Amino acid sequence: MSAKFQAVVMAGGSGSRLWPSSRGLFPKQFLSIAGEETMLQATLSRVSGILDCSTSVICNEEHRFIVAQQSHESKHHLTSIILEPVGRNTAPAVALAAFEAMESTVETSAAPLLLVMAADHVIEDVDAFIQAVGVAKVQAESGKIVTFGIVPESAHTGYGYIQRGDEFGIGSFSVSRFVEKPDAKTAQSYLEDGGYYWNSGMFLFAADVYLAELKAFRPDIYDACQKAYLGKTRDVDFLRVDADAFNACPDESIDYAVMEKTDKAVVVPLAAGWSDVGAWSSLWEIGDQDAYGNVSSGDVLSHNTSNSYIRAEHRLVATVGLDNIVVVETNDAILVAAKDQVQDVKKIVELLKWQGRSEFMQHRHVYRPWGVFDSIDNGERYQVKRITVKPGAKLSVQMHHHRAEHWIVVSGTAKVTNGDKELMLTENQSTYIPVGVVHALENPGVIPLELIEVQSGSYLGEDDIVRFEDRYGRA
């Protein structure tokens, strides 16, 4: 019986180098920055081209509803959404997926083949990718651990490299060694040599082979992940592992934990227009450049500007006299950076975090399982939000110790619990909720409910919420 094929999509990255578009609560894999689909949806679409391939996504607990919503919107069915209590890098994350895959294996069938991919990569030539997966499948079925090496297009210093060894079957090679990110001179020598590939971080292997190698080389990671998985619980599509056990797991990548130690490593070359979109300069590299070498997105006007990346998300952005510059505008922040220094955008994120500013973690638009809210205005003792509730969705039954709220319906129908009263409000109708009163908001209609919420009080933080009932399982 042939092995089942399962894609494992890792969606746990923070994407800090793509700030201000990417934030902690809504990182780059959930953004539409390299096409009409979000990066996660594009990855799921890519997988759908492989016949008989089921899909699991691994993500942070706080991103679970975004993954569920985006997969639902794009009509991609997920076998499961595995939730990591904390980030512990790729080796533990994939171990959880491998344990789950093995649990579903019938004794008479072969262990499933796991195609491990990141949710935030761009692959322009999907046919070439699927062809490379076919080559890798042959090696994985024979017990090899396959990594995909990107045929280099330049002497890039931002990627690790894989040096190939002897040819190992049609279209694949043994791995001679893995190399850390090189300096410019070394990278140029790799490019000229022709025997080196960029390390893509994508893999294909049988679940039992990976677990056996992990147990052999990093038994501490294996034991922690096994314990975490055995303590799992399931909540609809979500799989939660034991938090204490997983927290105790070492932080390690697949490369360090397994690939650099195993004698089963094989590399399959891949030339498919790949990019990990690791910085804003990557979007300039893969974008459609105009006659002046500019890549623009949104409402942009440029004069005497060249070799630049300009992204306008909410308003007109105009540039004059710029060269090799990145400009990114969002509704609450603007980034201006030299294109050759965009790797250091993460330093800005670190500074925002150190200063306790919210811009490192969330946008003005904050997504919730029931919809989204936009903080329109705020000042001393007041805050104004525009709230959109999806059809059939309901906010938790809750109360606040420090703030009162006034709701005004803009469009749609609101079913409101306000203390011991239940109200149906439509356009231009409103209700006032005093401090300490238990309340709830629901959209019973078939169109989105939009309303304006005016908060007033001595403290307006999002943590001033006492939930009594919540259909989404939040504390």
Q: Residue 99: which CATH number?
A: 3.90.550.10
Q: Is there a single domain that holds both residue 257 and residue 139?
A: yes
Region 72-76: what's the mean pLDDT? 89
Last residue of a domain, one of 284, 314, 346: 346
315 and 261 belong to one structural domain: no
39 CB neighbour count, 10 Å cutoff: 25
Q: Quick one: pLDDT at residue 2?
A: 63
What integer pLDDT is reported at residue 108 of this predicted model? 57
286 lies in some domain: no
Neighbours of 338 (CB within 10 A): 12
Residues 339 and 376 grouped into a single domain: no
Q: Record the tokens describing residue 468, joined without a space.
A: 């009594």
- Residue 112 DSSP SS3: coil
If pLDDT is split at 50, 70 and 90, which confidence band does 236 have? confident
Do 86 and 222 lie in a common domain? Answer: yes
What CATH number did the domain enclosing 412 receive? 2.60.120.10
Q: Is the dihedral of CA 85, 393, 439, 406 positive or negative?
A: positive
- Determine the longest span between alpha carbons in the chain, in angstroms: 76
Q: Is 143 within 8 Å of 209 (Cβ atoms)?
A: yes
Q: Do the domain assignments include residue 355?
A: no
Query: Is the C-alpha dihedral spanning 3, 4, 9, 10 positive or negative?
Result: negative
Residue 30: inside a domain, yes or no? yes
Q: Name which of 73, 72, 89 is nearest 81 in CA terms.
A: 72
Model pLDDT for residues 252-279, shown as the tens digit of each residue: 999 999 999 999 999 999 999 999 999 9
How many angstroms separate the CA atoms of 254 and 114, rounded? 13
3-state secondary structure of 213: helix
The alpha carbon of residue 394 and the mean position of all alpha carbons in its chain are separated, in whole angstroms, by 25
In a domain, 142, yes or no: yes
Distance CA 63, CA 31 (A): 13
Whether residue 397 sits in one domain with residue 369 = yes
HSE-CB for 35 with a 13 A CA cutoff: 16
Count of domains for the chain: 3
Point out the domain boundary residue: 275, 306, 330.
Answer: 275
Confidence of residue 107 (pLDDT cuts 50, 70, 90): low
Between CA 287 and CA 467 the distance in angstroms is: 46
Taking the C-alpha atoms of residue 114 and residue 46, their distance in angstroms, rounded to an integer, is 15
Q: Considering the domain boundaries, does residue 132 fall inside one?
A: yes
**What integer pLDDT is reported at residue 49 of this predicted model?**
81
SS3 102: helix
Check whether residue 28 and residue 169 sit in a common domain: yes
156 and 269 belong to one structural domain: yes
Same domain assignment for residues 112 and 207: yes
Question: Does residue 90 sit in the same domain as residue 222?
Answer: yes
| Domain boundaries, position 451 | 365-469
Task: Give the HSE-up count for residue 161: Cα atoms under 13 Å, Cβ half-sphere.
Answer: 26
Residue 351, domain member (yes or no): no
Report yes or no on 198 lying in a domain.
Answer: yes
Amino acid at 372: V
Most confident of 11-20, 303-312, 351-360: 303-312
What is the number of residues in the chain? Answer: 475
State whether residue 251 is helix, strand or coil.
Answer: coil
Residue 398: partners with Cβ closer than 8 Å, 6 or more residues away: 438, 439, 440, 465, 466, 467, 468
Tell me: do 314 and 370 sit in the same domain. Answer: no
Rounded alpha-carbon distances, angstroms, from residue 132 to 39, 192, 219: 21, 23, 31
The predicted-structure confidence for 43-65, as pLDDT tens digits, reads as follows: 999 998 887 788 999 999 999 99
Task: Give me the pLDDT at residue 462, please.
Answer: 86
Out of 1-10, 245-254, 327-336, 414-423, least confident range: 1-10
* Same domain membership, residue 174 and residue 88: yes
User: Which run of H or of E encompasses 354?
Assistant: helix 345-354
Q: What is the pLDDT of residues 409-421, one digit of tens each?
A: 999 999 999 999 9
Q: CA 48 to CA 76: how far, in whole Å?
A: 8
Give the pairing of strands 145-150 and 113-118: unpaired
What would the pLDDT profile of 147-192 be if each residue is shown by its tens digit? Answer: 999 999 999 998 999 999 999 888 999 999 999 999 999 999 999 9
Residues 146 and 11 in one domain: yes
Decide if 284 is inside a domain. Answer: no
DSSP assignment string, 309-325: EEEESSS-EEEES-BSE
